[in-house]
């Protein structure tokens, strides 16, 4: 499709011109461009009143192009500055990305270390639980053995007490018998003493009788 051009009549330095612009160029824009050229020509005419029309037009064109070049240079500088800023931003983003990756690597390493610690703690916990279970089982066995020992000690104590009671009764019986025997022994001793006294009397009487016999019968 052919692009339709606009035709606008403008006044530049006292002369009417028909200017055509593209579809994107508005009438106001074309008039503004024409007014800028007209103003430049009038300014140069005031500064250089002896210039004829062709030279004035050339000088105006030179001034306009000079401004355009200056503007282009400023745009290039601005673009260069923008490019530099963009490169700087890209470098900063790249540095940030590297820093982020480094931090991610450090976090990953730290996370792996923490996982290893958690794994180690889990293993130690399991080992501790196993030891506790073994100790609990051992304690239960010791408690059972202790209960058995207590029962055995109580049985032995009861048997010992029974034996002691029996021995006490036996000793009491023996003491009673000994006392009876001692009592009987005392009676025998008394009788023996009496017999000895009687024997002594008889011996004395016998000795006296012998003496009497010897006195009555001296030759015998």
DSSP string, 76-99: HHHHHHHHHHHHHHHHHHHHHHHH
φ, ψ dihedrals at 7, nearest 5°:
-115, 120
- Whether this prediction's pTM lies above 0.75 is answered by no
- Residue 4, SS3 per DSSP: coil
Tens of each residue's pLDDT in the chain, 220 residues: 455 677 899 999 999 999 887 767 788 989 999 999 999 999 999 999 999 999 999 999 999 999 999 999 999 999 999 888 888 989 999 999 999 999 989 989 998 999 999 899 889 989 989 988 888 888 888 888 878 877 876 787 778 678 767 877 876 787 677 667 666 666 767 777 888 888 888 888 888 888 887 777 766 5
What is residue 20's DSSP assignment? E
Q: How far apart are CA 182 and CA 190, in angstroms?
A: 12
DSSP 3-state percent helix, strand, coil across the chain (nearest 5): 85, 5, 10
What is residue 5's DSSP assignment? P
DSSP codes joined into one string, 50-67: T--HHHHHHHHHHHHHHH
Instruction: State how far the alpha carbon of 144 is from the alpha carbons of 123, 139, 151, in Å.
Output: 31, 8, 10
């Amino acid at each position: 499709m052919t692009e339709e051009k606009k035709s606008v009549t403008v006044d530049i330095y006292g002369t009417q011109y028909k200017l055509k612009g593209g579809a994107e160029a508005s009438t106001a824009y074309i008039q503004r461009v024409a007014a800028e050229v007209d103003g430049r020509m009038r300014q140069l005419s005031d500064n250089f009143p002896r210039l004829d029309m062709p030279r004035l037009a050339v000088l105006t064109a030179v001034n306009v192009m000079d401004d355009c070049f200056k503007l282009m240079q400023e745009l290039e500088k601005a673009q260069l500055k923008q490019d530099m800023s963009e490169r700087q931003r890209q470098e900063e983003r790249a540095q940030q990305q590297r820093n982020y990756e480094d931090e991610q690597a450090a976090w990953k390493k730290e996370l792996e270390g923490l996982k290893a610690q958690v794994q180690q703690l889990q293993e130690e916990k399991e080992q501790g639980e196993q030891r506790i279970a073994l100790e609990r089982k051992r304690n239960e066995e010791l408690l059972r053995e202790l209960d058995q020992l207590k029962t055995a000690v109580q049985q032995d104590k009861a048997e010992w007490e029974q034996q002691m009671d029996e021995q006490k009764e036996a000793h009491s019986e023996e003491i009673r018998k000994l006392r009876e025997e001692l009592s009987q022994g005392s009676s025998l001793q008394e009788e023996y003493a009496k017999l000895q006294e009687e024997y002594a009397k008889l011996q004395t009487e016998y000795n006296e009788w012998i003496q009497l016999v010897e006195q009555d019968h001296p030759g015998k």
